[in-house]
Amino acid sequence: MIDKVRDFFKGTKTDKKAWHGYRARVEALPEGYRFVMEQIQKFLFSVAMDAQSVTVLQAILELFEEGVAAGRPVLEVTGDDVAGFARDVMTAIQAQTWAGKMGQQLNDRVAKHFEK
């Protein structure tokens, strides 16, 4: 697992700069939000370590920053099922990718076939 994480972040300077920017934003969160963000990060890296992971983390971070700005408690943003929240965000982002769109087309074709 450690090798997988290390290899993932041996990217370009742009990738590294984006990662350091992300980490700085996480560090700026209030303690509760920061704790939950770090736990979500560990979760995502253990179940879905790929290029989409960083996109998912950035999307969650933006939601957290909005929650902080609105004065909402972190569990009001995520709900009690934090893993479910992380999976839902990951699924929503993956649905926007080419593979996600192709998967939806597959589901639509199969559903249409059986509606006959």
* CATH number of the structural domain spanning residue 19: 1.10.1900.10
CA dist 14 → 10, 17, 100 (Å): 11, 5, 26
Residue 105, classified by CB atoms within 10 Å of its CB into exposed (0-12), middle (13-18) or buried (19+), is exposed
Residue range 34-43, pLDDT digits in tens = 999 999 999 8
Q: Which domain holds residue 49?
A: 2-114
Give the residue among 102, 25, 32, 31 at the shortest CA–CA distance from 59: 25
Q: Count of domains in the chain?
A: 1
Residue range 15-54, pLDDT digits in tens = 788 888 999 999 999 999 999 999 999 988 887 666 667 7
- Write down the pTM of the prediction: 0.72
In this prediction, residue 69 has a pLDDT band, given cuts at 50, 70 and 90, of very high
Q: What is the pLDDT of residue 50?
A: 65
CA dist 72 → 30, 38, 103 (Å): 11, 18, 35
